[in-house]
Chain A
């Protein structure tokens, strides 16, 4: 089974702090994703990566950056946390990328609920 783990289930940070969210997958997947999930807004893509050191902006990249130094690890960085970044953050991985295969299945981690005060 694919396993995607996230470094923290719950996190409380202060406004202005730099926040690191870590995600690790153990299935040698090429593609990794960061989403945030908010009530009424659904899942929104922040960034994705289709290879080591490669990254692409998603729909809402402002205020975030990412790092992928190793294939299995994808980090989301909040440079200066703000209260509007309070959310559930979900990491996912997939074997193939969109546009490259008809079947395109994502495997999610358990999520990190981040509260910025």
Chain B
């Protein structure tokens, strides 16, 4: 069974702090996507990483794909209350027709 485990599961931090969310698997993925879902809404695509070792920045968010394409991380610098939400990683395991979602990290940033 291909799984995407995210850690931590829950995170509550103060505005201005930095944080990192991890997405790990024992399987190789063709790519990984990161989504953010706000309460009562559908997930919104943030970024796609494709190449092993790739780093992408989206304002204060930095996404990295592991060299072996089995893991990814999301780092947020100087978190703001608007960053609050459920962060999901997802992707297609290589050589399959599946699309797997991670277990999710629920982030709350306090003002």
Report the interface size class on chain A.
20 to 34
Out of B31, B103, B104, name the residue touching A102 (CB < 8 Å).
Answer: B31
Measured in the bound complex, the distance between the Cα atoms of B33 and A90 in whole Å is 17
The answer for the CA separation of A90 and B37 in the assembled complex, in Å, is 12
Nearest A residue (CB) for B30: A102
Return the contact of A106 from the options B30, B33, B95, B103 (Cβ within 8 A). B33
Q: Which of B61-111 contact A (CB under 8 A)?
A: 88, 90-92, 95-99, 101-104
Majority DSSP secondary structure for residues of B touching A: loop
Main secondary structure of the interface of A (DSSP, over half): loop
- For the complex, give the distance between the alpha carbons of A113 and B104 in Å: 19
Query: Which residue on chain A has the smallest CB distance to residue B6?
Result: A42
Residues on B with C-beta less than 8 A from A111 are: 40-42
B residues apposed to A, CB below 8 Å:
30-31, 33, 35, 40-45, 48, 50, 88, 90-92, 95-99, 101-104
